[in-house]
Amino acid sequence: ETGVTQSPTHLIKTRGQQVTLRCSSQSGHNTVSWYQQALGQGPQFIFQYYREEENGRGNFPPRFSGLQFPNYSSELNVNALELDDSALYLCASSPRTGSRTEAFFGQGTRLTVV
């Protein structure tokens, strides 16, 4: 087990709704990244948070937003849900930011948009 926990594990939402996913990072880790994994694909980087600030973003629209809290836990918010947002959302915790840093994943939140 990595010590990275995500909630909820499964979620069903209707198109147009908003959703908030949560992540608790591993003890001692100050960096949290979010990834979207569509069925049969590798994870795609959404954004990273370091010291409560966004520290890099992938090719996702502004309706994907996030927060990091002083205890380093994080939220991913998605507004105006679309059917294509259905995916496994993964949170990864790292001890620091930068390119030579290992990342440990939680079990993910399976989001289904209907």
Partner 1 sequence: GESVGLHLPTLSVQEGDNSIINCAYSNSASDYFIWYKQESGKGPQFIIDIRSNMDKRQGQRVTVLLNKTVKHLSLQIAATQPGDSAVYFCAETGANNLFFGTGTRLTVIP
Binding site for partner 1 (CB under 8 A): 2, 4, 6, 33, 35, 40-45, 48, 50, 55-56, 58, 90, 92, 97-108
Of 56 and 61, which has the nearer Cβ to partner 1? 56
Contact call for residues 81 and 19 (beta carbons, < 8 A): yes
Nearest distance from residue 35's CB to partner 1, in Å?
A: 8
Q: In whole angstroms, how close is the CB of 45 to partner 1 at the nearest point?
A: 4
Residue 34 CB, shortest distance to partner 1, in Å, is 10
Of 104, 86, 73, 71, residue with least CA distance to 17: 86
Cβ distance to partner 1 smaller for residue 18 or 112? 112
Residue 42 vs 62, nearer CB to partner 1: 42
Nearer to partner 1, 29 or 80 (CB): 29
